[in-house]
Amino acid sequence: MNALIDAALHRARTVLLVLVLLLTSGTVSYIGIAKESNPDITIPQIYVSINHEGISPEDADRMLVGPMDKHLRSLDGLKEIRATSVEGHASVVLEFTTDVDIDDALADVREKVDAAKAELPDDTDEPVVREINLALFPILVVTLSGQLDDRELYQLANRLQDQLESLPGVLEASISGEREEIAEILVDPALLETYHLRQEDLFTLIGRNNQLVAAGALDNGQGRFGIKVPGLIENELEMLSLPVKVDADRVVTFADIAVGRRTYKDPWSYARVNGKPTVALEIKKRIGSNIIEIVEDVKAIVAREQKNWPAGIEVTYSQDSSKRIRQSLDDLFNNVLAAIILVMIVVVAALGARSAALVGLAIPGSFLTGILLLNVMGYTLNIVVLFALILSVGMLVDGAIVVTEFADRRMSEGYARLQAYAAASKRMAWPIIASTATTLAVFMPLLFWPDTVGEFMKFMPITVLATLTASLVMALLVVPTVGSLIGKPGQHAERTVANLHHAETGDLNALQGVSGRYVRLLRPLLQHPGKVLLTTILLLFVSGGLYGKFGQGVEFFPEIEPDVVSVSVRARGELSLEERDVLVRQVEQRLLPMSELESIFTKVLVKSPRDYPEDTIGVIQIELVDWQKRRRGSVILEDIRERTADVPGIVIETEKQRRGPAQGSDIQLEVYSEYQQALEQTVDAILTQLSETPELRNVRDDRSLPGLEWQLSVDREEAGRLGADIASVGTIIRMITSGLTVGTYRPEGAKDELDIRIRYPFDHRNLDELDRLQVTTGNGTVPLSVFAERVPVPRTGQVRRVDGKRTVRIQADVADGVPVDGMTRAMDAKLQAAGLPKQVQYRFRGNTERQNEAADFLWKAFGVALFVMAIILVTQFNSFYQALLILSAVIFSIIGVLLGLLVKGEPFGIVMCGVGVIALAGIVVNNNIVLIDTFNILRNGGMAPKEAALRTGAQRLRPVMLTTITTILGLLPMVYSLNLDLVNRVVE
C-alpha cells in the first residue's frame, strides 16, 4: 500500500488527470443514466388469465381452474398458487421462490398451460400467460376528455397512440376506456316467427358466406388466368343483403328481418377526468429507458398533435413518474450541496480553509465515481439509489477527514506538505481500509436479501458499496496528492500546535478548550471502568424498556406523504351501470370543488377491480397538488369522508398511495378450510370482532355478496322429445344477453377485425323475454317454457383458492397513529384465545408476512455483518479482546436509536430502521478502529494502559468529533424532512 501511495504522490499530474476523468465521466453518466421512479425488479410471479364469456364462478372454478391447477402444481420451485374465479373469467397467480429463473419458469408455465388447454371447454378463449413486471406499469397517463362523440374521441386516441409508440423509449401506449367496436345485427324475433326461420340457419349463414376462396388459376395452354371468388364481407350492406330464405320467387334477406349497424360492445365501465368523459393512454417504458426524457418527448408529441384537434379537447397528465424523479434529483443535489457546505464549515473551524477544500472534494468525487460505476454495471438511477446516495453523504468524508487531520497535525510540527500527507496516508491507510471494509461488510449481506423486498432494496447496498469504495480511493490517493500540492499550515494550524503537542507528549492538564474539558471528564471515568460498563448496560435496557412502553411500535415500511389518494365507492344490490354511475357522480360532485385536488379520475364499473371488495361500483383516483401547498394527506382523506358521509346508499373507503415494497391494506388475514360452512361461520365471527374494534376501519372480506341470479332448469327428457337440447337453449338465451358471435370482418379504415354479433333488439332484452323465447327444432318452434323453468338462486360472485383450498381474505386499515404491528399482535392473540374450529386455519399475509420475513433476514444479516467485522478487526489488531471491545460499541449505540425514535415519536421501521442500524454499525466501528489503533501505538511505546487511553482520547478527539459531526450534518436534513435549496434560498 505504501508503494502505491508513494507512486501517486510522485505522479501528481497523473492522479489529477485521473481525477478530472472520473469527475467528467461521472457527470456525463449522471446526465445520461436512465432515471426511473421505482427500480426495475423481477417479481417471481406469473399470471395466467382465462376468459370464457358467460361462465359462472362455480363453473369457472371447476372447469377452468381445476385443469390448470392439476397441471401447474407440479412445477419446480413453486411457492404458492392462488386462483380466483368470477363470472366469465378465471385467473391463476403462480409465485415462485426467488432462486428460480423467471424466464425458465415462464417457459415451463406456458408448456403446462398448453397441456391443460385440451381439458378446457371448447368455447374458452386462448389462455394468456405473462410475467408480473413492475416495469410494465405506466409511467404517465395521458387523458383526453371533452364533449365529443365516442368514435371521434377514440379516433384521436388511436392516432396519438401510433405517434407515441414510435418513440424509441416507449414500449406501449395502451388505450384505457375505449370500447371494442363490433358489427351488430339486431334480429326481430317476431319476424323470425313470421318467416318461419330457424335461428341455427342465421348463425351459420354468415360463416358460409364470409370466406376467403382460394380458387387458383386456369392454364389451358393458350394462356394462364387467375380465378378470384370475392367471398369476404367488407361492409354492413353486404351483410344485410345476404339471403336467409328463398320461397319460390321471393328472397328474404337479413335486411327484411334485422337492422345492421357498426357500434360498440355494451359498456362495462365509464371513465371521466374532472367530471368529463375521457379516454386514457397509459405510457409504459422500455426497460433501461430514461423516464424524464420519455415524458418530455410524450408531452411534446401531444402538444404538437393537439394543434390539429377540435376545440374543447382537454389533455390531462397524471401519474407522472418524472415529477418524483426530478424532485428526488433536486433533493439529492440540495442535500449534497448542503452537506459539502456544512462539512466545510465544520472542517474550516477545526482544520482551516485548505483542509476543508480537500475534504469537500471527496464528496462530489465519490458520488460521481459511484454513479459512473452504477452506469457501467447497467443499473438505473431510481429512488432507492438516490436514498442510498443521500444516506452515504456523511460517511464519504470520514477517511478524508482522518488523513487531512493527521497531515494538518504533521504540518503544524514543521513537516513539509508532501511529507505530511505522505505520512498521513501511510499511517492511516490500514485503519481507514479496515474501517471502510467493516462498513462494506455491514452492507454486503443485504445483497442477498430474498423476496420482492430484497429485489427492491438491493440497489441500496450496491450504491453504498460503489460510493464508499470510491471514497476510499479519494481518501488514500486523491486527497493526499492534491493536499501535497495546495496544503500548507496556516494561522489555524499554528494556533492549535500547543494543544496537539500537549495531547501527544505534553502535560494533559495544559490542554485548552474542548480537548481540555474532555480530558477532565475522561480521567475520573477511567478510574471506574466497571461502573461505566454497568451504567451503559443499564442504559441499554432502560432505553429498550422505555421504547417498549412509550414507543410507537414496529412498522414494515414508513408512510410517505402521498401524491395520489383513492376513494372507492361501495353499494349493494343488482345495480345497472347507469344506476352505479348516478351514485358515483354524487361523490364525484362533492369532491370537484376541493382546491387541493389537481385532477380527479373517476371509473364506474360493472365488475369490481382486482383486490377491491366485490360491491365496489366505482373508484376515484385523486392526484393532489404539491405537498408543500396543501394539508397532510390524512387530513384531506378525513375531509373527503366528511364531505361524502351523507350520500345515501353507499359506503366510502379512502386509501393513501403506498410507495416501496408495502402494498395493500394494513392488515390482511387469510382464513382457509376445506369445509365451507365452518369457513363461513369463522369469517363471520372474526368480522364481528373486528367491526367492534374502534382502531380499525375499512373492515371487509372478499366473499360473494348476497345476490340473485336466474337459473334455467332444463328438463332434458322433455327437451329431447321436442327435438331441443342444452346447446340450442344456450344459443337462444345469448340472443337476449351479450349476443352471439357468428364471424368477423375488416371494414375499410379499421385497425383490427370486427366481430359480427347477432342479438335481439334492446326492448326484447329483459327477464320477461326468457318466458317468451321460441326454440327452433326439427319439429318446428317450441316455447322454451315448455321444457325449462326459470328459477331464482343465490348468486356466487367469486371463488378464491390458495394452494387448492377455499380461502377468504379479511382486510382492514388501522386509524392514523395506531401501530399496525400492535394491532396485528392483538388480533392474533384474540384469535388464539377464541379457539377456532380445528378444520379452519388462518395466517396473516401481505405487509405483516413481508415484515416478518424482512425482520428474520435482517437479524441474520446483522449477525453475519458482526461476524465479518470481527474477522476484519481481528486481522487488523490480532486481538479477540479488542475486536470484541469495538463491536460492543455497536450494541450500545442502539441506545441512541431507541431514544431518538422516542423523541421524534416514530415507529421502528423493519426495513428502513433495520437498514439504518446495520449502517450505524459500520459508522460506529470506524471511530473505534481509529481509537484502538492509536492506543496500540502508545502502548507499544511503553505507556501505561490508562495513560495511553487518556492520551488516545485527547489525540483522536478532533478526527472522531469531525467524522461524527459531518455524518450527523449530512443526514440531518433527511431526518427532519428538510430540503435546503441553497440556490433558490428556500427551505422546504
Residue range 844-870, pLDDT digits in tens: 888 788 778 878 888 888 888 888 888
Mean pLDDT, residues 256-267 taken together? 84
Query: Which phi-psi region, left, alpha or beta, contains residue 490 (left: φ > 0; alpha: ψ -120 to 50)?
Result: beta
Average pLDDT of the chain to the nearest whole number: 82
Rounded to whole angstroms, the Cα distance separating 385 from 390 reads: 9
3-state secondary structure 380-405: CECHHHHHHHHHCCCCCCHHHHHHHH
- AA letter at 507: D
Q: Contact, 824 vs 693, CB < 8 A? A: no
Please count the other Cβ atoms lying within 10 Å of the Cβ belonging to residue 833.
Answer: 7
List Cα–Cα distances, 154 to 148, 234, 283, in angstroms. Answer: 10, 21, 16
Could you tell me which residue, 554 or 546, shows the higher pLDDT?
Answer: 546
Q: What is the pLDDT of residue 495?
A: 47
- CA Rg value for the chain: 36
Is the pLDDT reported for residue 763 higher than 80? Answer: yes
Please determine, for residue 270, whether its predicted confidence score (pLDDT) is greater than 60.
yes
User: Does residue 536 have a pLDDT over 80?
Assistant: yes
Q: How far apart are the first and last CA of the chain?
A: 45
pTM: 0.70
- Cα separation, 616 vs 698, in Å, equals 12
CB 344 within 8 A of CB 359: yes
Regarding beta strands 597-605 and 269-273, do their DSSP bridges make them parallel or antiparallel, or are they unpaired?
Answer: antiparallel
Number of alpha helices (DSSP H) and beta strands (DSSP E) in the chain: 34, 34
CA distance 384 to 381: 8
Structure confidence at residue 491 as a pLDDT band (50, 70, 90): very low
Mean pLDDT over 492-497 rounds to: 48
* Residue 325 phi, psi (nearest 5): -65, -45
Report whether pLDDT(494) > 70.
no
Q: Is the pLDDT of residue 957 over 70?
A: yes
CA distance 174 to 617: 23
CA distances to 92, 137, 269, 482, 619 from 609, in Å: 16, 16, 11, 62, 9
Range 151-176 average pLDDT: 86
pLDDT band for 372, please (50, 70, 90 cuts). very high
Question: Minimal CA–CA distance to 252: which of 211, 207, 208, 194?
Answer: 194
The label of the residue with cell 418530455 reads: 296
- What pairs with residue 697 in β-bridges? 813
Confidence label for 714 from pLDDT (cuts 50, 70 and 90) = confident
Is residue 651 scored above 80 in pLDDT? yes
Residue 583 — very low, low, confident or very high, per pLDDT cuts 50/70/90?
very high
Per-residue burial over 667-697, b if 16 or more Cβ lie within 10 Å, else e, is: bbbbbbbeeeebbeebbeebbeebeebeebb
Instruction: Give the confidence band of 502 by pLDDT, cuts at 50, 70, 90.
Output: low
Higher per-residue confidence, 717 vs 393: 717
- What average pLDDT does this structure show over 493-512? 57
* pLDDT tens, residue by residue, 937-948: 888 888 888 888
Q: What is the pLDDT of residue 978?
A: 67
pLDDT category, 493, cuts 50, 70, 90? very low
- Lowest model confidence (mean pLDDT) among 212-221, 644-653, 736-745: 212-221
Whether 896 shows a pLDDT value over 70: the answer reads yes
Kindly state the helix (H) or strand (E) to which residue 418 belongs, with its residue range.
helix 417-443
The closest of 549, 659, 625 to 38, measured between CA atoms, is 659
pLDDT level of residue 586 (50, 70, 90 thresholds): very high
pLDDT(403) > 90: no
Give the pLDDT of residue 231: 67
Q: Are 399 and 474 a contacting pair, CB within 8 Å? A: yes
The three cell numbers of residue 818 are 395506531
Q: In DSSP terms, which residues pair with 128 in a beta bridge?
A: 49
Closest to 177 (Cα-Cα) out of 193, 161, 192: 161
Q: Comparing 277-281, 504-508, 523-527, 917-921, which segment has the lowest mean pLDDT?
A: 504-508
CB 778 within 8 A of CB 658: no
3-state secondary structure at position 863: helix
Question: Would you give the distance in Å from CA 143 to the centre of its chain?
Answer: 22
Distance between CA atoms of residues 283 and 171, nearest Å: 8
Closest CA to 4 of 390, 430, 386, 414: 430
Longest Cα–Cα distance of the chain, Å, equals 130
* Tens of pLDDT, residues 101-146: 888 899 999 999 999 998 998 878 889 998 876 666 788 889 888 7
Averaged pLDDT for residues 374-393: 82
pLDDT band at 414 (very low <50, low <70, confident <90, very high): confident
Stronger pLDDT, 728 or 60, i.e. the higher one: 60
Helix axes 459-473, 383-391, angle to 10 degrees: 40
Report how far residue 135's alpha carbon sits from residue 382's, in angstroms, rounded to the nearest whole number: 12
Pairing of strands 250-253, 243-247: antiparallel
Please name the amino acid found at residue 637. L
Reported as a single tens digit per residue, the pLDDT across 285-328 is 887 778 888 999 999 999 998 888 888 788 888 878 888 788 77
Rounded to whole angstroms, the Cα distance separating 482 from 839 reads 74
User: Is the pLDDT assigned to residue 69 strictly greater than 70?
Assistant: yes
Phi, psi of 579 (to 5 degrees): -65, -40
